[in-house]
Amino acid sequence: MTALRHETDADIGDATEVVDPVPGAGAPHLPQQPDLVQLLTPEGERVEHPEYPLDISDDELRGLYRDLALVRRWDVEATALQRQGELGIWASLLGQEAAQVGAGRALQDGDMAFPTYREHGVAWARGVDPLHVMSLFRGVDNGGWNPVERGFNLYTIVIGAQCLHATGYAMGVQRDGAENAVLAFLGDGATSQGEVNEAMIFAASFSAPVVFFCQNNQYAISVPLERQSKVPLYQRAAGFGFPGVRVDGNDVLAVLAVTRNALRAAREGQGPTFIEAFTYRMGAHTTSDDPTRYRLADEVEQWKLRDPIARLKAYLSRSGLADAAFFDGVEAEADQLAARIRSGTVDMPDPRPTDMFDAVYAEQTPHLAAQRAAFEAYQASFEGGEH
């Protein structure tokens, strides 16, 4: 996991005030900027957007709330477990739940997602067992889920590398004649990476069915976006030749609507879309990071007022779609989930040193078998005493 320290994850850019007023910059109310797609205000008011009508049932709305709450609880528990020495590291998604759940729930069966290392909310939406993510951060395996089965690739630690994988995969989908879409996740910092730009150029040239979903969480570790981009990120898409859209990343409904639209366009052969989900990383970059060294508490306080969960809760309660019993039930479920994650994590068996040979190829090769035998002999040499 040490690679995490070297990355240049870039997330959201605080759209510089000069170029593009940020939604809600400087105020708890995020005054809606013309280009920002928002369907649910920070106060929990449902608003309409002409291009993004959202057809959603009451059950689905409650389901989204449950997703957000459970994913946050998971994140909190994982952070605590890291502080207790049970995880090597943890990359918190705190504050980005809506961006991830909205995007994850926009995917259909047969679609494929390529995550970074922070997409726990998408993993959740794709039905990945949280313990399979925890095992990666505990260092006992490389991620325990089957990417094909879940339509969710393994986490990629190298910044931006998954965009190439996603574009390549999408070009394969295209050649198979399948009607599926690919969703590539990236952060704001990754937009400065060469392979991300290469992936976008290839995607545009081949009209590949891929959507680039950028969570602009404002910081590439400690570097604010305005140091990486002179224009709002979504405007960069125009340079590659496909549409770019900025969505309120703390508004799960808007994210869902925008991502659904983009994925549908991809499936229909209209090529890529770049989505900039404008959000904020409420916690540290990872548990190894101390955000108080590079950003002001004041900024964090402002973003608290734009909390993705609070606004949906307000909307559900006010519109009578959910009552106290519902919210209590979700909370109890969250606590159960946390307990399961805790016990499941600390009880994980250690890997055997020879496990690393198992997943190199689907079938063992003679060369690999010989290496394994030699390694076993080497390991055994430490047990006897005289050697």
Active site residues: 281, 285, 294
The contacts found for 311-314 with CB under 8 angstroms, 24 or more apart, are 311/40, 311/41, 311/42, 311/43, 311/44, 311/250, 311/251, 312/40, 312/44, 312/61, 312/64, 312/65, 312/68, 312/98, 312/252, 312/253, 313/44, 313/65, 314/43, 314/44
Residue 382 binds other proteins (CB under 8 A) = yes
Please report how close the Cβ of residue 83 comes to other proteins at its closest, in angstroms. Answer: 5
Please report how close the Cβ of residue 23 comes to other proteins at its closest, in angstroms. Answer: 25
Please report how close the Cβ of residue 21 comes to other proteins at its closest, in angstroms. Answer: 21
Antiparallel, parallel or unpaired: β 219-220 and 223-224: antiparallel
Residue 383 binds other proteins (CB under 8 A) = yes
Helix (DSSP H) and strand (DSSP E) numbers for the chain: 13, 8
Residue 384 binds other proteins (CB under 8 A) = yes
Contact pattern from residue 100 through residue 119 relative to other proteins, giving x for each residue in contact according to CB under 8 A and a dash for the rest: --------------------
For the CA atoms of 240, 243, 244, 246, the dihedral, rounded to the nearest 10 degrees, stands at 180
Measured distance CA(210)–CA(208) in Å, rounded: 6
**Residue placing its CB nearer to other proteins in the complex, 41 or 82:** 82
Span between the terminal Cα atoms of the chain, in Å: 33
H or E segment to which residue 297 belongs: helix 297-304
**Residue placing its CB nearer to other proteins in the complex, 314 or 348:** 348
**Residue placing its CB nearer to other proteins in the complex, 194 or 385:** 385
Q: Which residues are within 8 A (CB) of 258 and not within 5 positions of it... i.e. 6 or more apart?
A: 37, 52, 245, 247, 275
Please report how close the Cβ of residue 82 comes to other proteins at its closest, in angstroms. Answer: 7
With contacts defined by CB under 8 A, how many residues of the chain interact with other proteins? 36
Exactly one of 288, 302, 364, 371 binds other proteins (CB under 8 A); that residue is 288
Residue 9 binds other proteins (CB under 8 A) = no
Residues 321-350 interacting with other proteins (rule: CB under 8 A): 342-343, 345-348, 350
**Residue placing its CB nearer to other proteins in the complex, 61 or 136:** 136
Distance of CA 325 to the CA centre of its chain: 30
Per the CB < 8 A criterion, the answer to whether 8 and 189 are in contact is yes
Measured distance CA(261)–CA(287) in Å, rounded: 35
Please report how close the Cβ of residue 346 comes to other proteins at its closest, in angstroms. Answer: 4
Residue 46 binds other proteins (CB under 8 A) = no
Residues 123-162 interacting with other proteins (rule: CB under 8 A): 138-140
Per the CB < 8 A criterion, the answer to whether 181 and 267 are in contact is yes
Contact pattern from residue 82 through residue 101 relative to other proteins, giving x for each residue in contact according to CB under 8 A and a dash for the rest: xxxxxxxx------------
291's tokens: 């955000």
Please report how close the Cβ of residue 187 comes to other proteins at its closest, in angstroms. Answer: 19
Measured distance CA(175)–CA(221) in Å, rounded: 38
Residues 246-285 interacting with other proteins (rule: CB under 8 A): 284
**Residue placing its CB nearer to other proteins in the complex, 238 or 380:** 380
102's tokens: 């909205």
Residues that bind other proteins (CB under 8 A): 1-2, 4-5, 77, 80, 82-89, 138-140, 284, 287-290, 293, 342-343, 345-348, 350, 378, 382-385, 387
